[in-house]
Amino acid sequence: MKLKSMFSAMVAGALMASCSSVESEMQHLDNPVLPGYFADPSVVQLNGTFYLYATADPWGTEFLSCWTTVDFHNWEWHKLNWPTKEACTSPLSNENMVWAPSVVERDGKYYMYVSVGSEVWCGKADSPLGPWENALGDKPLIAADTTMTYHVIDAEAFIDDDGKAYLYWGSGWNWVNGHCYVAELGDDMCSFKGEPKDVTPTNYFEGPLMLKRNGKYFLTYSDGKTLDTTYKVRYAVGDNPFGPFTEAVNSPILKAHDDLKVYGPGHHTVITCDGRDYILYHKHRLPYVEGTAYRQTCIAPLECIGDTIATIIPFNSASFPLADRLAASWIEPASVEASSSESSDFTVQCAFDNSNGTRWQAAESDSTAMMTATFDGKVLIDTVRILPEYPWKQYYFKVETSQDNGASWTTAADFTQNGATGSPVLVSVGKECDAVKVEFVPADSTAATPSLWELKFQGKSKK
């Protein structure tokens, strides 16, 4: 399937990316799309690769995460050099971490607007993965509001079809009194032309995203509390980037859905793929625990009809134009087992169900956690793909293979001394085997709890 970029000023705006596919047949895509806790997504696309930037939960980290994919099924995690909490700190900064990136491309350059310490910082780079640098040296684009009138976070860039660029931003304090501001960006993308304007629509709290369709300007946003089920997506419509914006009669368009176990959906972006629009948003992990910030990125179709955005059903799976590029190489084990499970929500089967919404976790008392996959006879395993709960944490384990039904084992990779980070952690095997074992070892306080979203095998079954 061939991809080409359709990301342009004509359909752009904050956080939009596009793709086109030769094939138009829709494929099955499960939610969540990312293996981990990531919120506030932003996407750009270059030469067939999508770059998804996101807040890393719980409640942000000292760095920014970026995931790359060519098919929305298989992702690779990256830790960017900038922004960091250390590099983005001013005399007015508070304790808040790296949140809510917005990345856009203009004239071959990439610009990022990101919240750190309740201030908006602007970065620039020559490529989506950087290296990134602060476009303003050592100061923020928008400093903290010391009057506490509003919360200086959630900046989102929008490029209109006349080439003019705008920045929208703003939230509220203590989950009330959100304010949305907009200003036209200068040609350097890191200054403003004129004073910011307050364009706060009805029921606005945070997470503004401008979407232009059918000659109308749709200011979409979130309200409620991201820590509970009240969080949702609303929208208001205007005739120009500065409004005024009138909330639509069918707003909100995306909210909690008990039957589908979707809680707190919001803070979104929009991508266009094969001529169709999709909303990417975060929701709470399962099992749902109110008051926590373990959010996961999901996708759903989005449709604009005239001056209306259709109500969105938060599907647990969606149809999508891009197929799993590795689909033909997956090998399913005949049986799986683990030394322990933390509870019935985290059984070993969760690591083999092809879902980023479930995971296996060893019992807290299990100091030598282990999981084993057994195949129906010998199969050729090329690569073992390990998707840990947190890609930036250290996991200490070794991977072994057997050719005699577990009577003896050969080490394929040993991370027991230095640990492994990233997602996926790739282990090259390149031989026939009838079983694979992942065995964790006791480690110091830097070690993460043994917990995997998925343990997957690439290769082919023996004919």
Residue type, 22: V
Nearest to 280 by CA among 2, 8, 4, 69: 69
Nearest to 402 by CA among 425, 429, 420: 429
Could you confirm whether 40 is annotated as catalytic?
Answer: yes
Phi then psi for residue 408, to 5 deg, are: -145, 155
Residue 328, classed as helix, strand or coil, is helix
Which position among 40, 119, 160, 400 bears the catalytic label? 40
Residue 325 neighbours by CB under 8 Å, 6+ apart: 1, 70, 71, 73, 74
For residue 363, list its beta bridge partners.
none
Q: Which CATH architecture has domain 327-461?
A: Sandwich (2.60)
Q: Which CATH architecture has domain 3-320?
A: 5 Propeller (2.115)
Look at the pTM and tell me if it is higher than 0.85: yes
Q: Quickly list DSSP for 13-68.
A: -TT--EEEES----EEEESP-SSS-EEEEEEEEETTEEEEEEEETTT-BSEEEEEE
For residue 297, list its beta bridge partners.
282
410 CA to centre of own chain: 36
Kindly give the pairing relationship between strand 266-273 and strand 18-21: parallel
Residue 176 neighbours by CB under 8 Å, 6+ apart: 205
pLDDT at 444: 80
Question: By the 8 A CB rule, do 116 and 138 touch?
Answer: no
- Where are the domain boundaries for CATH 2.60.120.260 in the chain? 327-461
For residue 29, list its beta bridge partners.
318
- Which two three-digit tokens encode residue 202? 């009805």
Residue matched to tokens 């991977």: 399
Cα–Cα distance for residue pair 298/279, rounded to 1 Å: 8
Cis-peptide, bond into residue 314, ω within 30° of zero: no
Residue 210 neighbours by CB under 8 Å, 6+ apart: 13, 14, 156, 158, 166, 168, 217, 218, 219, 220, 241
Which position among 57, 105, 206, 434 bears the catalytic label? 206
- Where are the domain boundaries for CATH 2.115.10.20 in the chain? 3-320
Question: By the 8 A CB rule, do 67 and 129 touch?
Answer: no
pLDDT at 6: 31
Q: How many CB atoms lie within 10 A of CB 411?
A: 12
Question: By the 8 A CB rule, do 100 and 171 touch?
Answer: no
pLDDT, tens digit only, all 463 positions of the chain: 333 333 333 333 333 455 644 345 789 899 999 999 999 999 999 999 999 999 999 999 999 999 999 999 999 999 999 999 999 999 999 999 999 999 999 999 999 999 999 999 999 999 999 999 999 999 999 999 999 999 999 999 999 999 999 999 999 999 999 999 999 999 999 999 999 999 999 999 999 999 999 999 999 999 999 999 999 999 999 999 999 999 999 999 999 999 999 999 999 999 999 999 999 999 999 999 999 999 999 999 999 999 999 999 988 888 899 999 999 999 999 999 999 999 999 999 999 999 999 999 999 999 999 999 999 999 999 999 999 999 999 999 999 999 999 999 999 999 999 999 999 999 999 999 999 999 999 888 889 999 999 999 999 865 5
Each residue of 246-273: b (16+ CB within 10 Å) or e?
ebbeebbbbbbbeeeebbbbbbbbbbbb
Residue 351, classed as helix, strand or coil, is helix
Could you confirm whether 342 is annotated as catalytic?
Answer: no
- Which two three-digit tokens encode residue 143? 């400093």
Cα–Cα distance for residue pair 337/360, rounded to 1 Å: 11
pLDDT at 23: 44
For 258, what's the count of Cα atoms within 13 Å in the CB-facing half-sphere? 0
Counting every residue written for the chain, the total comes to 463
E strand or H helix at 458: strand 451-461
Question: By the 8 A CB rule, do 198 and 181 touch?
Answer: yes
- Which two three-digit tokens encode residue 179? 């304010």
